[in-house]
Amino acid sequence: MSEVENAEVISEKTETRSLAVPSVKQIDVILLTDDYVRLVEKQIELRQKLLMTAIKATKKHDWIDFGGKPYLEGEGASRIMAAVRGFKVGEALFQEEKLGDHYFIDCLMQIEWMGQSTVSQGDCSTVDKFFTGAEGDAGILAKEEKRTGSKEIAARLIRGDARKKARENALSRGVTELMGLKGLTWDDLKELGYGAEQAGAKVEFKTGSQGGKTGNLKIVEALQATVGSIINVQGKIANVTERKVKTKNGDSPITDYLLIEPDNNATIKVSCWGTKLPGAEKDKWLHCEKVSVTEYQNRLQFSAKEVSVVEIETIAPQSDPLVKPKAEQIDIGQ
């Protein structure tokens, strides 16, 4: 008889308990009970303990100071997944777009945990400050460009790193969303010994780029604005697309303007209610006023209240372009 046949067979029995909600049903109306409230309170208490335990699994440098708020890096999200268990991560799907010398990468992945599911999206580009430095002329990209003598080759060499960073961003956003870690403050983390002064990195914004205030930002700065901000941004038109969306008043026109920043090829899509602005042609400069920053499916969206074609008079190094609005202007609130 073989060793397999002689081996002792150990069976494991798993007990499954129903988590039916203890409520009272009366004439198709569910009434709350004291038992139900106690169950919810206990779930909230246990979930809070789990969150604190999960955060303890991260290291201090896994958190960066993003405009005054803590942001969990991808490595920190991986540590939480390893400690908490139960996460299911689907295949990473990448979408790439090449504009000029640079690559712009989106990563989509489905993440599940405790019956919850989300399609998380992360993004990165070879003009990201992670690669170029704060002023856009340093970092890995500058080193590779100096070594190869070509910005295009340099961008291609770090394309793989940009894909990894996009995946890490998607992972971080998915984990923080499912676990309820979004919206944490440094005061929340301070109780566990994580302070802003110990953050792995710090991302700062110009005055007026957050908190519902209006600020004039470059595209690379606008892409880092927080949800709820109202900003002004401008760039050279790369493409214009008109479409219609359903509203309570029927189909309404909306125009998407894809803008590019020539200095670093950063791009942003700004939407504005109404048909295409007269004169808004490719390679013209567009100024977008009172742009609301919102989020949909973990991706920032930019909606302008007013757009206008502008003329660039002068562009000083490392400064905002001076613009002079033309007569063509549209202001449509919806």
Q: 17 lies in a domain?
A: no
This prediction's pTM: 0.54
CATH of the domain at 255: 2.40.50.140
Whether residue 98 is found in the same domain as residue 152: yes
Arithmetic mean of pLDDT, 278-289? 91
List residues bridging with 98 in a β-sheet.
Answer: 103
Q: Is residue 306 exposed (0-12), middle (13-18) or buried (19+ Cβ within 10 Å)?
A: middle
Last residue of a domain, one of 165, 198, 231: 198
pLDDT, tens only, 140-167:
878 888 888 888 888 888 888 889 989 9
pLDDT tier at 312 (50, 70, 90 boundaries)?
low
Contacts of 267 (CB under 8 A, 6+ apart): 99, 104, 219, 235, 238, 258, 259, 260, 261
pLDDT, tens only, 219-236:
888 887 777 788 889 899
Contact in structure between 296 and 276 (CB atoms under 8 Å): no
For residue 210, what pLDDT is reported? 42
How many distinct structural domains can be found in the chain?
Answer: 2
Whether residue 165 is found in the same domain as residue 132: yes
Contact in structure between 68 and 226 (CB atoms under 8 Å): no
Query: Of the candidates 162, 1, 187, which has an alpha carbon nearest to the alpha carbon of residue 95?
Result: 162
Domain that holds residue 284: 206-331
CA 18 to CA 302: how far, in whole Å?
A: 45
- Stronger pLDDT, 78 or 297, i.e. the higher one: 78
Q: 214 lies in a domain?
A: yes
